[in-house]
Amino acid sequence: MPYNEKLADRTREIISPAHKNVEEKKMFGGLCFMVNDKMCVGVEQERLLVRLDPARYDEVMEKEGCKPMNFTGKPMKGFVFVDADVLKTKKQLEYWVGLALEFNKRAKASSKKKPAAGKGRKK
């Protein structure tokens, strides 16, 4: 099991009723919830990936179970991991998913590659 299915189900229960444009994608060895075509939260085996307002980064890093997202040797402000151990109650999970959904309204979608001139177009 590449990701925590129970945590994914709990996350889905929070996101899906409130948002119509939700897509689930398997990536990063887990499951990513895209809201309005933007990465919102991700579920791995033992943690939740949260995309949040970079201005709140220092504040949330003080919270139990929160760790920086650090794939390149440099933490990325605006993305944190939260240990599944501190997400036992609905209220705890709602807090983190809520931060992600709040920022999602203002977050920029990743730029999608457009086909090169003459490619991918029908004449």
**CA nearest 30: which of 84, 93, 104, 102?**
84
pLDDT below 70 — which residues of the chain?
A: 1, 18, 111-123
* Structure confidence at residue 43 (pLDDT): 97
* Structure confidence at residue 108 (pLDDT): 85
CB-CB contact of 22 with 100 (8 Å): no
* Structure confidence at residue 113 (pLDDT): 47
Q: What is the pTM of this model?
A: 0.84
CATH 1.10.3720.10 for domain 5-104, yes or no, is: no
* Structure confidence at residue 12 (pLDDT): 94
Say whether 43 sits in a helix, a strand or coil. Answer: strand
* Structure confidence at residue 119 (pLDDT): 47
| CA pair distance 93, 4, nearest whole angstrom | 14
How remote is the C-alpha of 84 from its chain's centroid? 14
* Structure confidence at residue 111 (pLDDT): 64
Domain ranges of the chain: 5-104
